[in-house]
Structure 1
Amino acid sequence: MLPSQRGTPPRPLDRLNRATEQAARSELLRCCGSRRWASRLAAHRPYPDTQSLLAAADEASYDLSAEDIGEALAGEAANGGPEHLLAPTGRPGVLAAHTALRAALAKYESEFGHTFVICLDELPPAERLDGMLAALGRRLYATQDEERAVTADELRRLARGRLLRLVVRDVTVGSPSVPD
């Protein structure tokens, strides 16, 4: 090891790249519950940079079959569905909004036969409840085919956000950019 490398922490993507196939698949399954998706990403390692990983994840997401999407949706439901994304804010009317949300989620599941998925990464926490309610309101009027496409895209967006958090979780808090 060169003196300039001593004490240099590994790049966050190195941990995923160097993991065993089984360990990598296990980590990747936390990002998207499709075994085929996780196996595909694990098999294509090593990734030279984060953007390459995200591109591979997008490609794998676009190739998911209806069965793969169903498997990923089952994983989302097992993780608590969309309500776990929302923390109580103490704002007036939040209890009523959560009640409305539960009713809309039940209607959605009855209509489409699966849990509602949405990526709220771009919204500040204080806006997530309203964002989820607005999206639910729009998506309840979609056709089965329209909603299937939106659901697949939301799963893709969720997986991207989770991958980013996976590869940057060892980076010092407050780092101004994504590594690699």
Structure 2
Amino acid sequence: MSQQPSAFPSSRGEEPTLSSDSDAGLPHPARPSHLALPAQTTASPAGPTAVPKPLGPAGAPQQPGLTLFNSATDEDALAALLACCGSVRWAERVAAHRPYPDVGSLLAAADEAGYDLAPADLSEALADEYPAGPHPDAPQGTHVARALDAAHAAYESRFGHSFVLHLDAYAPEEWVDEILTGIRLRLNHEPDQERVVSAEQLRLLARARLRQTVAGPRAATTAPWPGARTAR
């Protein structure tokens, strides 16, 4: 896949996942009835492109990032989606349903593709993830890095892939505690149970990254997380 620069800001961030401590370690309930957007970037979109403003179903202006995503080449759309989730099949399914009338429809398609990941697709996506790390705005120290390194090493030794955790619901200073707590709890899982939990956390991560991807130029000002993935 070529690595041409894209007009889209990227939205790939650190790896998080577990909505709350009470959910940690529980399988997700029953399923309901990566434009060359590399990982997160602080660069501005390439060039002063004139972006049309089509209207959504309710007459609301469509987000510029969604307009770019809808009109991108297949290659660029796949690159942007792979920056959100490393499964090629997931990216191909989401890209195939363009154009999307609104962001909600795009996220629903991403969720549907995430629920349908085959075991090989999930393994591919997890292999492309970086372990969750501290928020860049939170105080850090050598002891924090050592604790995280040891916890991630234990997790990867048991399950063979990076620990992923969606942390958007937590304040920056809470991330390290949530990561360490999540790893401690999930180390008790059997491998099959942990794959179920990891798949749900991966879906939440892909959804959050995709939402940021199509949020428009403002998303480009967001600093990347330490675990931000680079473009393929």
TM over 0.5: yes
**1:168, 1:28 → 2: CA distance?**
14
- Aligned partner of 1:130 in structure 2 is 177
- One-letter amino acid of the structure 2 residue matched with residue 72 of structure 1: A
Are residue 89 (structure 1) and residue 89 (structure 2) matched? Answer: no
**1:29, 1:152 → 2: CA distance?**
16
Stretches of structure 1 that go unaligned for 5 or more consecutive residues are 1-6, 174-180
Q: Aligned ranges for residues 35-46 of structure 1 at < 5 Å?
A: 35-46=88-99
CA deviations 1:50-101 (Å, max 9, x no partner) are: 1111110000001111111111112114xxx323x5337336xx43233122
Q: How many equivalent residue pairs?
A: 161
**TM-score, normalised relative to structure 1:** 0.82
For residues 8 and 34 of structure 1, do their structure 2 counterparts lie closer, same or farther at Cα, with a shift above 3 Å needed? closer
Q: Percent identity?
A: 47
Are residue 154 (structure 1) and residue 201 (structure 2) matched? Answer: yes
Higher RCO (CA-CA < 8 Å; seq separation 6+): 2
- Aligned partner of 2:5 in structure 1 is none
- Aligned partner of 1:16 in structure 2 is 69
CA deviations 1:141-174 (Å, max 9, x no partner) are: 111121010000011000011011101032589x
For residues 146 and 168 of structure 1, do their structure 2 counterparts lie closer, same or farther at Cα, with a shift above 3 Å needed? same
Where 1:58 maps in the other structure, the secondary structure is: helix
Are residue 115 (structure 1) and residue 162 (structure 2) matched? Answer: yes
Rg larger in 1 or in 2?
1
Stretches of structure 2 that go unaligned for 5 or more consecutive residues are 1-49, 54-62, 221-232
Are residue 141 (structure 1) and residue 188 (structure 2) matched? Answer: yes
Where 1:27 maps in the other structure, the secondary structure is: helix
**1:25, 1:128 → 2: CA distance?**
30
The structure that is helix-richer by fraction is: 1
After superposition, the CA RMSD in angstroms is 2.0
- Aligned partner of 1:72 in structure 2 is 125
**1:154, 1:64 → 2: CA distance?**
13
Following TM superposition, the consecutive aligned residue runs of length 4 or more in structure 1 with deviations greater than 6 angstroms are none
- One-letter amino acid of the structure 2 residue matched with residue 102 of structure 1: D
